[in-house]
Amino acid sequence: FRAVFKKYDALNDSVQENVNGMRVVKSFVREEFEKEKFNRAAANVQADFTKAERIIAINNPLMQFCLYTVMLFVLSFGSYTIITSRGLDLDVGQFSALLTYSFQILMSLMMLSMIFVMVTLSAESAERIAEVLNEESTLKNPAIPVMDVADGSIDFDHVSFKYSAKAKRNVLSDIDLHIASGETIGIIGGTGSSKSSLIQLISRLYDATEGTVQVGHVDVRNYDLVTLRDQVAVVLQKNVLFSGTIKDNLRWGNPNATDEEIVEACKLAQADEFVQLFPDKYDTFITQGGTNVSGGQKQRLCIARALLKKPKVLILDDSTSAVDTRTDALIRKGFREFIPETTKLIIAQRVSSVQDADRIIVLDGGAISAIGTHEELLAQSAIYREVYESQNKVEEDAKGGEQ
């Protein structure tokens, strides 16, 4: 059954992958290939399951054969003994008792064999369930946790990090960075430069392998996890909305938020303008996964949800990639005007999204390549200058094409 369950895992993975990537499969006309892959996974399940069921199927007739064989032997032996001894060695009453007890014992053994089959099946299921239930988080609250975050200052003190202790190289190497409360920091870098890994250490989704990460001048490992994460709002790359109304989704940020606070947060995130166009406005129902709103609308709703937490640290992990540059600029302008005391970390691929930040960090290969303002980096950082010039060239080419 262990082999059967492993094959079931492969089958479920294939189905889940196809459902999630349905549009990609259709776009690349790979339906037949995916059908064949599914059929192979299903055939593997069928082969192992047939083998297991064959063993189970043999068990019942085998036990019945043993039962009737023993009963036949008892009947033959009893009848022969009664006849030859004329009832002296074994009478009819004793024979009936022997027959009854033999039948009960054999039936018990037969039931035991059936239980053994069920236990074998259940034990494998129980082992897999227990493996999940017994998994313990390595991130635990300290014995005496700090229950208040003083401000939004962030300090990385020679931090290195890798996702697994067995990994040969660090994802982040010797990050030494100090961010003042209320400062706006832009983070830019190529794919795989560990931008997301850096910000995940702030809300203690992971612990640093070396060095310390501090928020409000306190090591994040000394905070109560709920307290820390309540003051560090993160809008992730993959935006998630849940089934329910827009209000229900926004109140994930603050369950006690009033309607006025919700509208205010949406205006700051530039979401109110499209919400007002819906017939039911903030009572509009969001389908599972937010499929009835666009990518840009989803991002703005997620930003509004984070703002409702009124955090001391706000992290946007490439969270305006699906909105146009005008809306992106309006969101950043709102941040400067209405939440100046909140520390803001903005990860972006577009230079225009971070160029007005107080400081911009250029990450390369998990290390800080350069830090400075937009003007300073244009003069000092070859990586930043190359990204800026390549993006400007694309924009100029696009404008030229339109003309």
Residue 53 belongs to domain with CATH number: 1.20.1560.10
In this prediction, residues 298-317 reach a mean pLDDT of 89
- Domain boundary residue among 133, 166, 186? 133
In this prediction, residues 37-61 reach a mean pLDDT of 79
| Whether 100 and 224 share a structural domain | no
Share of the chain above pLDDT 70, in %: 96
Whether 211 is covered by a domain: the verdict is yes
Crossing angle for the helix pair 92-133 and 2-20, nearest 10 degrees? 40
Q: Over 80: is that where the pLDDT of 53 sits?
A: no
pLDDT at 155: 92
- Sign of the CA dihedral running 128, 130, 133, 137: negative
In this prediction, residues 172-200 reach a mean pLDDT of 87
Whether 257 is covered by a domain: the verdict is yes
| Whether 41 and 128 share a structural domain | yes
| Whether 204 and 97 share a structural domain | no
Q: Over 50: is that where the pLDDT of 403 sits?
A: no
Q: Over 50: is that where the pLDDT of 187 sits?
A: yes
Residue ranges making up the domain that contains 24: 2-133
Smallest CA-to-CA distance from 156 within 380, 366, 379 is with: 366
User: Structure pTM?
Assistant: 0.71
Q: What type of residue sits at position 344?
A: K
Q: Which residues neighbour 366 within 8 Å (Cβ) at sequence distance 6 or greater? A: 170, 171, 172, 173, 193, 194, 197
| Whether 247 and 111 share a structural domain | no
For the ranges 84-93, 216-225, 234-243, 281-290, which has the lowest average pLDDT? Answer: 84-93
Cα distances (Å, whole numbers) of residue 124 to 85, 119, 261: 54, 9, 51
| Whether 166 and 242 share a structural domain | yes
Distance CA 356, CA 29 (A): 44
Distance CA 293, CA 278 (A): 11
Residues in the chain: 403
| Whether 129 and 175 share a structural domain | no
CB atoms within 10 A of CB 323: 22
Whether 148 is covered by a domain: the verdict is no
| Whether 91 and 189 share a structural domain | no
- Domain boundary residue among 74, 103, 133? 133
Whether 142 is covered by a domain: the verdict is no
Whether 14 is covered by a domain: the verdict is yes
φ, ψ of residue 150 in degrees (nearest 5): -65, -50
| Whether 90 and 189 share a structural domain | no
Whether 266 is covered by a domain: the verdict is yes
Counting the structural domains of the chain, the total is 2
The model's pLDDT over 369-382, given as tens digits with 9 standing for 90+, comes to 888 888 888 888 88
Q: What type of residue sits at position 393?
A: K
The model's pLDDT over 119-171, given as tens digits with 9 standing for 90+, comes to 777 777 777 788 788 877 777 888 888 898 888 899 999 989 888 878 788 88
| Whether 273 and 329 share a structural domain | yes
Mean pLDDT score of the chain, rounded to an integer? 83
| Whether 176 and 112 share a structural domain | no
Half-sphere exposure of 148 (CA within 13 A, CB side): 1
pLDDT at 119: 77
Q: Over 80: is that where the pLDDT of 302 sits?
A: yes
| Whether 222 and 94 share a structural domain | no
Distance CA 73, CA 89 (A): 17
- Domain boundary residue among 133, 162, 192? 133
Q: Over 80: is that where the pLDDT of 395 sits?
A: no
CATH value at residue 339: 3.40.50.300
Whether 144 is covered by a domain: the verdict is no
Q: Which residues neighbour 54 within 8 Å (Cβ) at sequence distance 6 or greater? A: none
pLDDT at 106: 80
| Whether 258 and 298 share a structural domain | yes
Whether 140 is covered by a domain: the verdict is no
Distance CA 401, CA 35 (A): 42
In this prediction, residues 289-295 reach a mean pLDDT of 78
Q: Indicate the DSSP class of residue 283.
A: G
- The dihedral region occupied by 87, where left means phi > 0, alpha psi between -120 and 50, and beta the remainder, is left
For the ranges 122-131, 248-257, 275-284, 357-366, which has the lowest average pLDDT? Answer: 122-131
